Structure 1
Amino acid sequence: MWGRATAAAIPGFLLSAGVTGLVCWLLPGPWQSTLVPGVVAFFAVWMAAMAVAFQFRNGKRAWAWFGGGAVASLGALWLLQTLQWVR
């Protein structure tokens, strides 16, 4: 149980930040206009990640999926910024 809870708290937080950041950056218009809705959506996504974490069989699987998702989403954010596709 503690493995799944920590997977929801640490990589789940990063995954939620990455997914919310991607959605906010990819919407049309300046990213500043999506800041407040993005923060509100972030908490909803993080709470959903916390609920999903307890659906895994064990903590290792939760850490693997959430960790991989966090690396992928934050890597996509980094790549978009490096290629200057978003500002």
Structure 2
Amino acid sequence: MIARCFAGILLGLPLSIALIACAIWAWPGSSESVVMPFLILFFPLWIGVMAASFLFRSGARAWAWLAVADVGAFALLWALKHTMPGL
């Protein structure tokens, strides 16, 4: 139980940051008008990821799946930054 809790906290934070950054980067037009709403949305997203980490059968699965999700989210952010026009 504690392993799933720590996985949600420690791997959920960068996952939430990467997903919010992807949404801000991919937003059409000027991003200045959407930064604050997305930053406010960050905390419920992080809490949702932490809560969803308890749906895994074991702590090892939670760590593995959240680590894969982190790598995928940061790979998506890297791809967006290198293929789309910047801020």
1:8 equivalent to 2:8? Answer yes
Offset of residue 34 of structure 1:
1.5
Please provide the CA RMSD for this pair: 1.2
What are structure 1's unaligned runs of at least 5 residues?
none
Q: Counterpart in 2 of 1:42?
A: 42
Q: Counterpart in 1 of 2:28?
A: 28
Alpha-carbon contact 2:16-2:42 (below 8 Å) kept = yes
Alpha-carbon contact 2:4-2:59 (below 8 Å) kept = yes
Normalising by structure 2, we get a TM-score of 0.89
Deviates more, 1:29-38 or 1:42-51: 29-38
What are structure 2's unaligned runs of at least 5 residues?
none
Normalising by structure 1, we get a TM-score of 0.89
| In structure 2, C-alpha distance between the alignment counterparts of 1:47 and 1:27, rounded to whole Å | 23
In the comparison of the two structures, how many residue pairs are matched? 86
Seq. identity, %: 34
Q: Counterpart in 2 of 1:65?
A: 65
Deviations 1:55-76 (A, max 9, x none): 1111111111111111111111
| In structure 2, C-alpha distance between the alignment counterparts of 1:59 and 1:15, rounded to whole Å | 17
